[in-house]
Chains A and B, each alone.
Chain A
Amino acid sequence: MKHLTIAAMLIGALALSACDRNSRFGDDAATAGMGAGGIVPGSPSDPTSPAYFQQTIGDRVLFAVDQSTLSAEAQDVLAKQAAWLMENPEYSAIVEGHADEQGTREYNLALGARRASAVQSYLIDRGVAPNRLRTVSYGKERPLAICSDESCYSQNRRAVTVLTAGAGTS
């Protein structure tokens, strides 16, 4: 029964992402070319819904220039993400690491991987099973905010925990 609900929500999500190109989840599965997963709706006030994970807890953490260190604020978000993932074992997640455009392509890919890995390690330390978490780096290839100043760069230096359906792989 629950799986049907998730399936219905995923279908809804695909429809939503198709018509809402300016979604603030600009790094969703469709634009990132990740296949299944991505935006899942539901009510942000329903603690079991992916929308709650994305919006109420927050699906992303931000980083300082060139850094992959988790700030106290980031750790707070990730602790809640970990708790949610443990409460909702029917989801897994892909942690996407991103960088701002002020850097060379290769370095930013490596930096995005560092950031994704920092988040993954934190979530595992908080009890999430490693087989439910994967990482991918997008470097500077998928900016969320597209201006060329710090107001955008600070949003782009991020790691986003993207929920996927399924209990993980071994």
Chain B
Amino acid sequence: MMKLIRILTMALAMFGLVQTASHAQPLRIVIDEGVIEPLPIALPTFVAAGGEAAQYAAEITRVIAADLTGTGLFREIPASAHISSVTSFDAPVAYADWKAINAQALVIGAVEMAGGGNLVIKFRLFDVFSGAALGEGLQFSGTVAGWRRIAHKVADVVYSRITGEGGYFDSRVVFVSEEGPKNARQKRLAIMDYDGANVQFLTDSSALVLAPRFSPSGDRVLYTSYESGRPQIYVLDVASVSRVALNTSGGNMTFAPRFSPDGQSVVFSLEQGGNTDVYTVGLDGSGMRRLTDAPSIETAPSFSPDGSRIVFESDRSGTQQLYVMPASGGEATRISFGPGRYGTPVWSPRGDLIAFTKQNAGRFHIGVMRTDGSEERLLTASFLDEGPTWSPNGRVIMFTRESQGEAGAPALYSVDISGRNLRRVATPSAASDPAWGPLQN
């Protein structure tokens, strides 16, 4: 694992904007539901100290640009339009040249090779129109092999300083990689960077695997596998790629697991005699408890981030709907009341919204609602969209979209919570069931 060392001050946790009196409109993107005109940003290729660094400098700059423009909140001003060329990290910024091409934000950086297979990157962010730096310069170092992560870290800082929100670029996604025809699909667990880079497989395709879920710290993954001949939940250690069955005492079908916010227990579904209910159990198999007890299907549970409540789906009313209950079980309150049916609810990491899959009139949607069920908004529509997962900052949702027909196959897509910026996430083959992990340290 790469170790990042922050050398200069990072007083950016909740960074205040540097404003000057002459600047009427501060450099700031407020993410809300309105249509946003992407903010023009200039990202001249980072200055390289030496030939080897030059190659990384170019690639790192491109990854930072891809991260920022991929949000839909930024528009990169192409290098061909730049008037100034940046040849020194410490040279004074020619604000007039950047202002002339209407760059509102400017990132200047430098890359050098350090000893021991490490890279050092420093960068500064400028508010062009106020003619001032936005926050302090920062320096990151890390291994050459981990160069993409350093680029994502830089992009996360730029995003945070301009939006005032946490970033999500230095994060990973665990998902199911699929191959083969629709009636004999081979599935294996895989993990990748949020942007589809660095795919690694975590299981082989000898047994069907479904719906992996990250632990809060990203070190473990829960998933369902048929390796014993029936669906059972497993816990996989990401670093060692070793797995153990979750001990739920008995040979029943177990599936739809998710971690509690403290990472110490698992909420899941267990089927007995054809009836599926929600249970919790310690990660070590201790203290198993039944949380619902109804003849209907109760599944797809997800904790609120404070651990106090669980949202799940049930067809107790006759169709799949969403319910919220205390984390200890007990009376559940229905929160979904629109037309159609609702499944796979997931509580946002900010705690303010619940994302879900909705089926109505022969179409599938990914949507969000407040935790009391109000203000429902549908973000997508297609033949089959399902299984939302939240970015670490609660601003973007990734999900599975499956195409129709005999050659139909799933792929991963992302959309922001206002329904803008729908994008396909690149994967080497068909892919489903993404689960977005936390920001890495």
Contacts and interface: CB of A to CB of B under 8 A. Distances in A.
Contacts of A21: 184
A104 B229 contact: no
A143 B182 CA distance: 7
A154 to B, nearest CB: 15
Contacts of A106: 211, 255-256, 269, 299-300, 313, 343-344
A64 to B, nearest CB: 14
Max chain A Cβ within 10 angstroms of own Cβ: one of B211, B274, B297, B386 = B274
Contacts of A118: 274
Contact of A141 (B208, B402, B406): B208
Interface stretch (A2-10, A46-54, A83-91, A109-117): A109-117
Contact of A117 (B256, B273, B359): B273
Interface stretch (A28-36, A55-63, A71-79): A28-36
Contacts of A136: 229-231, 253
What bracket does the count of chain B residues touching chain A fall in? 35 or more
A137 B253 contact: yes
A102 interface: yes
Contacts of A34: 229
A107 B313 contact: yes
A118 B300 CA distance: 22
Contacts, number: 112
A145 B406 CA distance: 9
Interface in A88-108: 101-107
A110 B207 contact: no
Question: Interface majority SS on B: helix, strand, loop or mixed?
Answer: loop
A105 B211 contact: yes
Interface in B272-305: 273-276, 297, 299-300
B405 interface: yes
B183 interface: yes
Interface residues of A, number: 38
A25 to B, nearest CB: 11
B198 interface: no
B207 A105 contact: no
Contacts of A102: 359, 384
Contacts of A16: none
Pick from A109, A114, A141 the residue with the most CB of B within 10 Å. Answer: A109
B271 A113 contact: yes
Interface in B421-435: 433
Interface of B: 181-185, 206-208, 210-211, 226, 229-231, 253, 255-256, 269, 271, 273-276, 297, 299-300, 313, 315, 319-320, 343-344, 357, 359, 383-384, 386-387, 402, 404-406, 408, 433
Q: Please list the 8 inter-chain residue pairs (A to B) with the smallest Cβ-Cβ separation, ordered nearest first.
A: A117-B274, A110-B276, A104-B343, A110-B297, A146-B182, A148-B404, A113-B271, A106-B256
